[in-house]
Chains A and B, each alone.
Chain A
Amino acid sequence: MKPPPFAYCRPHSLDEALEFLAEHGDEARPLAGGQSLVPMLNHRLARPEVLVDIGAVGELQRMERDESGWLIGAMVTQRRVERDGTEGCQLLRLAMPFIGHRQIRARGTVGGSIAHADPAAELPAVALTLDATMVAASLDGEREIPASTFFAGPYMNSLEDGEILSHVIFPMAPPSTRCSFREFARRKGDFAVAGVAAAVGFDDGSVTAARLTAFAVGSNPVRLAAAEAAVAGRRLDEAALTETAEAAAAEIEPWEDIHGSPQYRRQLVAALLRRALQEVAP
């Protein structure tokens, strides 16, 4: 568990980082908090020639709120988001404690987790649920990528060579939106066996718009379109809960690993979604 040889550089500005990345192309990998990449290096699953440590790039440390939402720089640690809070963005706040352990969150970054696109990770699920915008920087300028197209398969994103995820914009939800974040992990801090995120708007007790996402059940987090349709316009009574949960279980195509079969993961998503909806019900 020692990495193969690599070169290491630590730029101090975004432009400098982008120049390194442009110079080395696909032989370079940005190193953010290192909570996924370093183990992959040690297992020799990732073998970059050059590590570009972006920990000293000040532009990536922004964390600002305006009327449209929260702008969070790629190098902002998960722990900082958790500690400083993201007022008005309830789902993000609810999700943070599920990310690994506090020690991991102290190093792990928002941008690192989203760019790594682990199918079981929490932040990609939050980004997808809230329709967050990923902002990619390159020497040519900035490009906005919606969450719905950012994730391109397990551990894959749609950044191009020479691009780096510079920040993420999590939009504010309307005030009537109520959120729940639920995941089932074998131990506290483990990767989820299955999880759901819900942001549900209500008007006079009925659902106006439901944004429902399942994660750790496929290549990437997935919006539960059939479940969203099943719950739209309804009060969250017993029948609505059951039908929505069943719709979710039916529409996902989960994978199998030693912690559970596809069948088990469908049941988990149904149980978690049901509880999430109970939680947000007015």
Chain B
Amino acid sequence: MPDTFELGGRPVYTGAHVTRRQDDALLSGQGTYVADLRPSGMAEIAVVRSPIAHGRITAIHTAAAAAVDGVIEVITAADLTDVAPYPNFADAYTQTPGTFPLAQDKVRYAGSPVAVVLAEDRYIAEDAAELVEVDYTELPAVTSLEAALEPDSPRLFEDWPNNRLLDLQPDDSEVAAILAGNRVLRRRYKMGRHTAMPMETRAALAEVHGGRLHLWCTNQHAHIARTTLSYVLPLAERDIRVVIPYVGGGFGLKQHLYPEDVLVSWLALRHDRPVRFVEDRAEHMIAAAHARDHMIDIEAAIADDGRILAMRVQVVQDLGSAEIFPGAWCPALTTAAHMTGPYDIRDCVVSVAAVTTNKTPGGSYRGFGVPEAVFALERFIDEIADEVGADRLDLRRSMLLQPADLPYTTASGALLDSGSFAESFERVVELGEHAYQRADARYRSDPDSRIGVGYAVLFEGVSPTHHGASAHWMGHESCTIEVQPDGGVRVASGVTDQGQGTTTFVATLTADALGVPMETVRVELADSDATPYGLGAFGSRQAVIGGGAILLAAAEVRGKVKRIAAHMLEAPEDDLVIEAGRVHVAGSPVPAVTMAEIATTAVIRTIDLPPGMEPGLEATARYEPELMEHTPDEKGRINANAAYANAAHAAVIRVDLGTGEIEILNYILAHDCGRVINPPIVDGQIWGGIAQGLGGTLYEDLCFNDLGQPQTAFMDYLVPSAIEMPDLVIEHFESPSPNTPLGMKGVGEGGTVGPAAAIGNALAQALAEFSPQIHETPLSPAVVRAMILDQPA
């Protein structure tokens, strides 16, 4: 790691409670979203979607719709003659769905886009969309992961040998030998299907300016979106500009470049007028990426005291129809990489399958395979403890990585270079046991209540390679810093802001690294014309990787500032410090030169520069973490992340025996994301993550019936509201990574990862007298009530 990853002086803003830059705009309704953009002449689309889950299209009748007053055109896949299918760069180890923006011969999920009506406004477009008639020959639907695995299952893609898009079966002979000689425990765990429900749905607006396509969209990556559009549309990349305005939450769901993004672009080019799509909530439920839907089988050899000696794991992910770009198999690989948790389990082999079913395509969602692994492993450890009569906390203690074990390479190849696994766990146990005692005392006399406390301790890969998801992009981030003649700073980066505060940390690090007041820093993000090529938001990476690029660019600018100042002050460069936009000799604030004087010299009055110095005061840098690996070794091991955060969770719950409802009395979390840049933003990430984790554990469930018909409308999709959120106790640990800029690790997902495991374990304790089988989420009241009665839900 280069030694330029430093702030350059005393931090003023880093680590301080700096108010988020967009808060005023967001709280006063001034944020401009895609749905707020209405260029003159704008037309809108409505998408005709398949009402059936699986079938062959035999005819599409569009004449009646096209005749509606105000309809401009109705298109189907046959019209898109110059559009290419989405690419698949992973075809060496996956099957290729050949995804096209509109269904070509078959539909593979209810909600699949079949035709598009372009009209003067969305009202007319929807009126006409009702008149498009599509004839289908229905095919039997595959609606569960288990069904998809059956050898005689109907196939979604007839040229594939089965429904397995991905099927990795590593050599398990070493683990098999250990299993053969020891006591073996087997369990199967499942996590249900749920997904992000951002307040802003997906949206895209395409315009044509001087022959160039301008796409305003909600995607999390300006440059990846631009490049992908150039693969799919007959356009050179230089003729595409992607701009991401205010976004009302991404959560991974907006990582994908959806068909509608392509369709509005194609229609805008064809008709030379602005074309917009704003997804409505009913569409969002069936056409935006779903997530989770994993099944995990664990077989473990255990010692007499319960310690895990070796594990053989099979992870299966239900991809839905898999018609999405980038493909969505990577959460299953991520699950595999997290199966040992922060425990010293040296022998673990994981096979991974990702199967297609006639359901909405799965995709990215905050947590990205880790909640599944943590739920399975942490439930499993509690079940081992029950099985062998061990204390569940002591069993964890006997396997948890201790400070002396670090750095530690997990069985999957993850390099845990730092962390507070044991310390954070002990702190949460201390707080959790205390809260449990209080709750138990309070409810002991209530015959309808049972109390339980459950724990989960975890590590979480952050700042990952993109290669796992796309087999194409790697893991770098970019930054340009320019000091303008008046001393103000423009910083442009490839990172993007979905509302989580990216803009604020970019300004924070830039200001501290240059020694200038934060209000003199202007941040430009998410415009492919204005920012250097970067990968944007995914995998809790932006502070770590984006921050690294900022620090590198700032170091270069800072060096030049000091060289110019040294010349102007006639002082040795090494004696100078930059503070509040002024450069002076350390310890004597006068004489000083201001950033404006230095920049004016660098850019305008270049005659005053030191002899031979190039004019200008700007730098562009790119940061790609050295230890991040992009492809696995011959044993399947990979250090796919630049850093690993860790956390410990505790949930104290009350179960209402009459209704089966779980009430969270206390939720305690100790979190370690290394160096903290902005404490309130970190807390906010944890709160939001916990909310989504609780949602998937207790409330949210995307159900399908046997025909593949989606059963969960928004009314029944129970996103927890402020009322359902328990008060949180958040404890911070800071174990800086020796391998990342400033020791930062990512914070975006840690809250999401633990609730299913902590609540599942709390429920097991609360209902111990009923010997409940807790192997699946969501833990709805009906499911819990059935455990109490030992009857089917």
> A residues engaging B (CB < 8 A)?
1-5, 43-44, 184, 186-191, 193, 257-261, 263-264, 267-268, 271-272, 274-275
Contacts and interface: CB of A to CB of B under 8 A. Distances in A.
Nearest to A265: B782
A4 B131 CA distance: 12
Q: Is the interface of A mostly helix, strand, loop or mixed?
A: loop
Contact of A261 (B282, B699, B701, B793): B793
Most buried by B among A5, A44, A268, A274: A268
Given A44-B130, A187-B699, 4 more contacts: A2-B123, A186-B781, A187-B720, A259-B782
B716 interface: yes
A271 B658 contact: yes
Nearest to B711: A258
Contacts of A187: 699, 718, 720-721, 723-724
A214 to B, nearest CB: 14
Contacts of A275: 658
B230 interface: no
Majority DSSP secondary structure for residues of B touching A? loop
Interface residues of B, number: 34
Contact of A2 (B122, B701, B785, B786): B122
B716 A259 contact: yes
Contacts of A257: 716
Interface in B259-294: 280-282
A271 B122 CA distance: 48
B780 interface: yes
Contacts of A272: 658-659
A263 B791 contact: yes
Contact of A186 (B122, B699, B712): B699
Contacts of B703: 258
Interface string B751-793: 0000000000000000000000000000011100110010111
B127 interface: yes
Contact of A184 (B127, B281, B659, B721): B659
Output the residue of A189, A258, A259, A275 with the most chain B CB within 10 A.
Answer: A258
B656 to A, nearest CB: 8
Interface in B638-670: 658-661
B126 interface: yes
B282 A1 contact: yes
Contacts of A5: 123, 127
B76 to A, nearest CB: 22
Contacts of A263: 791-792
B126 A2 contact: yes
A187 B724 CA distance: 7
Nearest to B279: A1
Interface string B160-201: 000000000000000000000000000000000000000000
B83 to A, nearest CB: 27
A43 B283 CA distance: 11
A190 B699 CA distance: 12
Given A5-B127, A267-B785, A188 B659 contact: no
Contacts of A264: 660, 781-782, 785-786, 793
B792 to A, nearest CB: 8
Interface in B435-488: 448
B561 to A, nearest CB: 54
Contacts of B130: 44
A190 B718 contact: yes
Contacts of B792: 261, 263
A168 B789 CA distance: 42
A51 to B, nearest CB: 15
Contacts of B699: 186-187
List the 10 shortest-distance A-B pairs measured between CB atoms, nearest first: A271-B658, A1-B280, A260-B782, A188-B723, A264-B782, A2-B123, A2-B126, A258-B703, A186-B718, A184-B659
A187 B723 CA distance: 8
Contacts of A274: 658
Contacts of A191: 715
25 contacts: A2-B126, A3-B123, A5-B127, A184-B781, A186-B780, A187-B718, A187-B723, A188-B721, A189-B721, A258-B703, A258-B711, A259-B781, A260-B781, A260-B793, A261-B782, A261-B792, A263-B791, A264-B785, A264-B786, A264-B793, A267-B785, A271-B448, A272-B659, A274-B658, A275-B658
Interface string B715-734: 11010110110000000000
Interface of B: 122-123, 126-127, 130, 280-282, 448, 658-661, 699, 701, 703, 711-712, 715-716, 718, 720-721, 723-724, 780-782, 785-786, 789, 791-793
A184 B661 contact: yes
Nearest to A190: B718
Nearest to A274: B658
Contacts of B793: 260-261, 264
Contacts of A189: 721, 723
A257 B705 CA distance: 11
A172 B347 CA distance: 73
Contacts of B782: 259-261, 264
B286 to A, nearest CB: 13
B692 to A, nearest CB: 15
Question: Among the interface residues B130, B781, B789, which one has the most CB atoms of the partner chain A within 10 A?
Answer: B781
A258 B658 CA distance: 19
A121 to B, nearest CB: 14
Contacts of B718: 186-187, 190
Nearest to B720: A187
B518 to A, nearest CB: 38
A189 B127 CA distance: 33
B779 to A, nearest CB: 12
A188 B282 contact: no
A5 B659 CA distance: 44
Contacts of B715: 191
A160 B711 CA distance: 33
B49 to A, nearest CB: 13
A44 B785 CA distance: 36
Contacts of A268: 658-659
A4 B127 contact: yes
B463 to A, nearest CB: 35
A258 B724 contact: no
Contacts of B659: 184, 268, 271-272
> Which residue, A271, A272, A274, has most C-beta atoms of chain B within 10 A?
A271
Given A184-B659, A187-B699, A43 B282 contact: yes
Contacts of A44: 130
A272 B448 CA distance: 12
Q: Which residue of B126, B281, B699, B715 has the most chain A CB atoms within 10 A of its CB atom? A: B126
A71 B406 CA distance: 74
Contacts of A43: 282
Nearest to B789: A267
Contact of B724 (A1, A184, A188): A188
Nearest to B281: A1
Contacts of A2: 122-123, 126
A258 B791 contact: no
Contacts of A267: 658, 785, 789
A267 B791 CA distance: 12
A228 B619 CA distance: 82
Residue in A186, A189, A268 with the greatest tally of chain B CB atoms within 10 Å: A186
B117 to A, nearest CB: 12
A273 to B, nearest CB: 10
A53 to B, nearest CB: 19
A257 B703 CA distance: 11
Nearest to B656: A271
A258 B702 CA distance: 10
Nearest to A186: B718
Contacts of A3: 123
A97 to B, nearest CB: 12
A272 B658 CA distance: 8
B700 to A, nearest CB: 10
Contacts of A261: 782, 792-793
Contacts of B123: 2-3, 5
